[in-house]
Amino acid sequence: MNWFFDIVNFLLPEMIVIATILLSVVLTFLLKEKGQKSIYLICLTGVLFSIVSFAFIPAQPYVALLGSFLSADFTVFFRALIALGTLFVLFMSKRYTWNYGIWRGEFFILLLTATLGAMLLVAASDFIMLFVAIETLSLSSYALCGYTKNDRLSNEAAMKYLVVGASSSAIMLFGVSYLYGIFGETNILKIMEMLLGYEPNFTLVFALLLMLGGFLYKISAVPFHMWTPDVYEGAPIPVAAYLSVVSKIAGFAILIRLIPLFVTTAMLWSFIIAIIAVITMSVGNLVAIVQKNVKRLMAYSSIAHAGYMLLGLALFTKLGVSGVVFYLITYLFMNIGAWAGIEIFINQSGKAQIEDFKGLAYSQPYLALGLTVCLISLAGIPLTAGFLGKFYLFQTIAFSGVWGFVFLFFALINTVVAMYYYLKIVRQMFKQVAPVLRLDVVPKSISLNTILAFSAFCVVFIGIFSSPIIQLAQQISLNGAGLGILN
């Protein structure tokens, strides 16, 4: 009965999500088209309960499920963050799915399955568990990308995501198989222990390189970023928001947890990851400048943000990790807000080019205000969360010494470039146009407006009072699972 104890105590949120999924599956088959609306409410309630249930998880670190699931401050925090992100995405998808009739339930089931995968991924402490979790997340995401079956772009997105995703999963698995070959063990925590007495050699470096590739794909870092713009453009907007926030948070969380694997050859990896980070942010920002479609712009912007965070991660210090954690929190709010604003706009106008935002500040001042707050936060202007996220992250990078400053310099130059294209959207919104008769055929979506308002509020609030949140980030990176090796 030990496993039952584990599940009730430490996997309660996951169990609630699973129960919600099962209930939704049954209801999807049973209910008529009209009744399908209730599935949304059920999923919402399920995720809410799941978030609440994090409060009941015992605080002490514990390895559950025969060593394949780690429950500690760090993983609990990230699972909760993922559930929170999913809650936002659920709110965003209510309007999107409203005319999909009997297929409506499908969307929510897939979304929750992906969330389940992400939550398990963050806490996985065994490579088997890790692989199963990452595939659960990925497969559901592929299906979600192709949810709008009649849309050519959506199908293309799903296909591209599937092909790139499957191949990078294979590469990652190949790397993991080498690790198994070296250590004869799939348990990550045990491998970390064995590594301490292990003389680094080429095989180990090669295995880690392959494994790293799989995760770089999840966070859309540069050599593996090609899918991002196409997928974000074609996928349903809530799914794009989900990929850019929740999926990315999960990818960073597991990458942080795997840092101890890189410690024996830390100098090398630190350098490699820092170089990748600089290239990632430069490519993301430079290509974003020339984008005309706002979804593609957001895709490149999310690549750039992954670059900043990767640079913090490359330090391999607890301070650096706390910088990444805090950045992820701010990123969650500002990116969800920006996507919500974009979704409201696209719902109403049906257009997604940056030029189409012209005059938005005059026709819908509050939408423009919310979107502007989120965009200038992404650009890193003070009194928003984005500024403090960047400042704190850069501060941690500065603490790593002279080399840190060299890389910091690239990051700083990149923020200037980023400023340009975020302001480009803002500029369009505040351009005066001859008053046109706007046909507001689409009624206002309260849930979307709420999400935008809430995110904008949080962005400003964190921008002013972030001290407790940074302390939380520092605390969980100090007590982070398996991070004890770092200094």
Size of the site for another protein (CB under 8 A): 30
What contacts 62, CB < 8 A, 6 or more positions away?
6, 9, 10, 70, 71, 72
Q: Per CB under 8 A, does 387 bind another protein?
A: yes
Helices and strands of the chain, counted as H and E runs: 21, 2
Q: How far is the CB of 278 from another protein (least distance, A)?
A: 15
293 DSSP 8-state letter: B
Q: How far is the CB of 395 from another protein (least distance, A)?
A: 6
Residue 290 lies near another protein (rule: CB under 8 A): no
* Residue 419 binds another protein (CB under 8 A): yes
Which position among 138, 228, 466, 477 is part of the footprint of another protein (CB under 8 A)? Answer: 466
Q: What is the dihedral of CA 271, 273, 279, 282, to 10 degrees?
A: -110
**Is residue 355 a contact residue for another protein (CB under 8 A)?**
no
**Part in contact with another protein (CB under 8 A); list of ranges 189-197, 248-256, 281-289, 382-390:** 382-390
Which position has the token pair 């938005």? 360
476: its two tokens: 């969980």
Of all residues in the chain, what percent are helix, strand and coil, respectively (each to 5)? 80, 0, 20
Q: Binder to another protein among 23, 423, 453, 478 (CB under 8 A)?
A: 423
Type of residue found at 91: F
196: contact with another protein by CB under 8 A: no
Question: At closest approach, how far in Å is the CB of 383 from another protein?
Answer: 6
Please report how close the Cβ of residue 414 comes to another protein at its closest, in angstroms.
Answer: 9
| Distance of closest approach, residue 432 Cβ to another protein, in angstroms | 8
- Out of 149, 427, 438, 444, point to the residue binding another protein (CB under 8 A): 427
| Piece of 152-160, 266-274, 307-315, 406-414 that binds another protein (CB under 8 A) | 406-414
> Binding of another protein at residue 203 (CB under 8 A)?
no
Q: From the CB of 176, what's the least distance to another protein, in Å?
A: 36
Considering the rule CB under 8 A, would residue 408 count as an interface residue with another protein? yes
Angle, nearest 10°, between helix axes 266-289 and 402-429? 20
CB of 313 to another protein, least distance (A): 18
Residue 289 binds to another protein (criterion: CB under 8 A): no
Q: CA 337, CA 385: separation in Å to the nearest integer? A: 12
CB 259 within 8 A of CB 198: no
Rounded CA-CA distance 381/314 in Å is 25
Residue 180 forms beta bridges with which residues?
none
| Rg of the chain over all Cα atoms, to the nearest angstrom | 22
For position 5 contacting another protein by CB under 8 A, the verdict is no
- Of the candidates 395, 294, 301, 397, which has an alpha carbon nearest to the alpha carbon of residue 350? 294
Contact 157, 226 (CB under 8 A): no
What DSSP string runs through 299-317? HHHHHHHHHHHHHHHTT-S
The CB-of-381 to another protein minimum distance in angstroms stands at: 6
Among 27, 381, 478, 485, binds another protein (CB under 8 A): 381
Cβ atoms 258, 122 nearer than 8 A = no
Instruction: Please select the residue that binds another protein; options are 398, 433, 442, 446, rule is CB under 8 A.
Output: 398
* The binder of another protein chosen from 430, 454, 457, 461 (CB under 8 A): 430
> Exposed, middle or buried, 174 (CB in 10 Å: 0-12/13-18/19+)?
middle
Among 409, 433, 442, 484, binds another protein (CB under 8 A): 409
Task: Figure out which of the listed residues 2, 99, 150, 432 binds another protein, where binding follows CB under 8 A.
Answer: 432
Strand, helix or coil for residue 187? strand
- Asked whether the beta carbons of 336 and 243 are under 8 A apart, the reply is no
Provide, rounded to whole angstroms, the least separation between the CB of residue 427 and another protein.
Answer: 6
Q: Interacting stretch for another protein, rule CB under 8 A, among 66-74, 221-229, 259-267, 401-409?
A: 401-409
Residue 477 as a binder of another protein (CB under 8 A): the answer is no
Residues lying near another protein in the complex (CB under 8 A): 376, 381-383, 387, 391-392, 394-395, 398-399, 405, 408-409, 412-413, 415-416, 419-420, 423, 427, 430-432, 466-467, 470-471, 474
